[in-house]
Structures are given as structure tokens and as C-alpha cells.
Amino acid sequence: MHLPRAALEDWMRDFYFDTSIDLGSSGVRTWSLAELRRLLGITVEELDGIALDDAPSYGGARLRRAVADRFTAGDVDRVMATHGSTEAIFVVMNALLSAGDEIVVVDPAYHSLTSVAESIGCRLVRWRLRPESGFAPDLDELRTLLTPRTRMIVVNFPHNPTGAHLTRRQFDDLLALVDGHDLHLVWDAAFAELVWDSEPLPDPSTLHERCVGLGTMSKAYGLPGTRVGWCLAAPEILARLVPLRDALTICLSPLTEHLAARALEGADRILADRRAGAARNLDRLDAWTKENDDLVSWSRPAGGVTAFPAFTGIADTEDLCRELGTRHDLLLVPGAGFGHPDRVRLGFGGAEDAFDEGLTRLRTALTERREAL
């Protein structure tokens, strides 16, 4: 097995921890433990009662119940807790795919959604979201990519990094494609609860036995440090993941499981705060792009907390992003890691005052570059 290097993670390693203003990340503003305890009423006595022991292979009962109540209509047997959604991606692909299998994957994509399948020896067929159409998904194009050899469709909606999303009709059409082919659909729903222009879509794993849903505490919930994710699937599929879980992580920490369960039980309170801040930032970004339309072009995201803009006259944004990190103390992610070197991933889920300052610094850098030409 050979996993290609993840350009996104290399970039984040260099700049994420060394810049004070973050316009590159793909989640909402993180919670401190003190904030979480105050919001949800978590007491010191409650934390002191947690035994730092192993947890069950499928996840602790309380966490699985919290995930099930929110996403699977209470069906706990369809829930496995994972070490972030990255472990879920790894075990699902290794359990369901073999060398030589053909998979169709949305493009651009988060690196694990392609690199794991590549490491297995699968043939990747890319379902491209195209900038000339505002990155809108084209289900007719997807249909043309499926063959009798296709064993998996891998999608991420709302999409990272473009913010594109499916309509309910497109979602239903996608499930119909699963019905018509001998394949699994892997539905990465990291941003499922961050939708701006429509109602959230249901998890397809609750509607079709060959669909697998992936989720995480890292994005909409602002708790990436818990390293808690989940896989939603038919019990027969989850059973195939257990041997791989045993070889990788065995189980999660009961401490982070407890925090994730409490957060999911109080999800409406957590989401209301972070969603409202991200929505205000999105409106700020919309106004900023209009004010600076000579410098930037973009498609407004339908979901998630990332946009994928391009800047006038800049064919490769890596030098700009490096300059922002070293000279302006600002994190922005170059689009080369997503196959579009002329673009950047711009995250708007963070603190509102820092977001305003970040946009000001970005405009300064872009203006200086234009004046230097």
C-alpha cells in the first residue's frame, strides 16, 4: 500500500498552527471545554465519573444512541463510531473495494476520498464539478461515467471546497443510480447540517442498504479535537469494518466519546450559535466580493463553510498563499491541493472579528500584487 502525500495536510502543517487569522479551514469556530461545559451543563463531577477504559468496537452506547437519534431515526444498529471520518473512509474503502475496482469520485475532493482508493489499486473516474457552471453537480454527466465495472460512487455534499450541493430531486436521482447498478454509494456528510439555501438532505444510508454515510464532529460542531466521527450503514456492512478497526485504532477514548455524545444531545444549541456566525460571515464575504469584483470571482456556496474563489491575474495561488502566511499572518489554502491551482479554499466559519480582519489583509495583499505588475 502506498498513500500519496496529502498536499492539503502538508500546507496545514506549515501554516495552520503558526498564523493567527484563519481563512483556510473548513469548519466552524471551535469550542473550548469551558464553553462546552457552560453551554451543555457538563459538571466536573460528570467528567470525574468517566472511567478511562477501552470502549466497545462499535462505540460506546451513549454516543451511538446520540448519533442514531440524530441521523438514523434511532436505529443504533446502523451506527459505528470512528476515529474521525478519516478512519471511516479508510475502513469502508478497504472493506468494500478490491484492486482493479472502478470508483467514481467527485472532483475536486478531500484527499482521503481519492488517495485511499488509489492505494488499494482502484481505477478512479472523476465526476468533475466545473468552474464554468459554478461547480453545480451534473447528474447527467455522472450517469455517463458509470459502467458495469463501477463498484462505488464517492461524493461529499455540501461540497468541500466549493460549497456546491444537490437539490432534493438530484439526491433522489442519485439514489436511483445506486438502484440501477451493482455498487455502493459513500456519502461524506461532513457539512450535512450547514446548508444555506435549502433544507438538509437525509442520510442516504437510512434509505438504501448499499449506501454508507460518514459524519464528524470536526466541521459543523466545532469539535475537531475530539477526533470523533461515525459511519452509518446496514449492520452487515458495519460488521465487515470491525477487523480493520481492530487493526487500526481498536476503539475511541471514552472521554472524547462522552463529550461528543453530550454535544450531539445538545446539537441544536451548538449548531444555532455556530451556524449564525458562519451565516453572517458568508454575507460579509458576499459583500466583500462585490466590493472587490475587480480582484476576485466566486460562486456563492449553497452549503458548508468554504468557498473556492479565483483572483484576477493569478494563475497559481501558492505564492500568494505563502506570502499571506509569512507576511500577513493569515492562513489561506492554495487550490492546487484540490486540482485547481488558480483558486483558493477560503473558509468563513471562524470568529467574525478575525474574519473581517482577514478579508482586509487579503485585499491588501491582492492590491499590492496588482500594483506591482
Question: Does residue 154 share a domain with residue 186?
Answer: yes
Q: What is the pTM of this model?
A: 0.94
d(CA 240, CA 233): 11
Alpha-carbon separation of residue 102 from 204, 228, 233, 296, 349 (angstroms): 21, 29, 21, 37, 35
Do 107 and 59 belong together in one domain?
A: yes
pLDDT at 124: 97
Cα separation, 63 vs 237, whole angstroms: 19
Cβ count within 10 A of residue 20: 10
Query: Which residues in the chain land under pLDDT 70?
Result: 1
pLDDT of residue 328: 95
* Domain identity same for 327 and 236: no
Does residue 222 lie in a domain region? yes
What was the pLDDT predicted at 8? 74
Q: Are residues 190 and 320 in the same domain?
A: no
Q: Give pLDDT, residue 197.
A: 85
Per the structure, the complete domain to which residue 351 belongs is given by 7-32+269-368
120, 233: one domain: yes
Judge whether 102 lies within some domain. Answer: yes
Q: Which of 285, 365, 304, 294 is nearest to 331 (CA)?
A: 365
Does a structural domain hold residue 156? yes
For strand 344-347 and strand 330-331, is the pairing parallel, antiparallel, or unpaired? unpaired
**Residues 184 and 73 placed together within one structural domain of the fold:** yes
Supply the pLDDT for residue 14. Answer: 78
Does 301 lie in the same domain as 164?
Answer: no
Question: Both 289 and 155 in a single domain?
Answer: no
Does 341 lie in the same domain as 203?
Answer: no
Q: If 0-12 CB within 10 Å is exposed, 13-18 middle and 19+ buried, where does residue 315 land? A: exposed
Q: Which pLDDT value is given to residue 17?
A: 82
72-87 pLDDT, tens digit per residue, is 999 999 999 999 999 9
Question: Are 243 and 98 within one domain?
Answer: yes
User: Looking at the 3D structure of the chain, how many domains does it have?
Assistant: 2
Q: Cα(208)–Cα(204) distance, rounded to whole angstroms?
A: 6
Q: 94-132: per-residue pLDDT in tens?
A: 999 999 999 999 999 999 999 999 999 999 999 999 999
pLDDT of residue 1: 67
Same domain for 25 and 69, yes or no, is no
Number of helices and strands in the chain (H, E): 13, 14
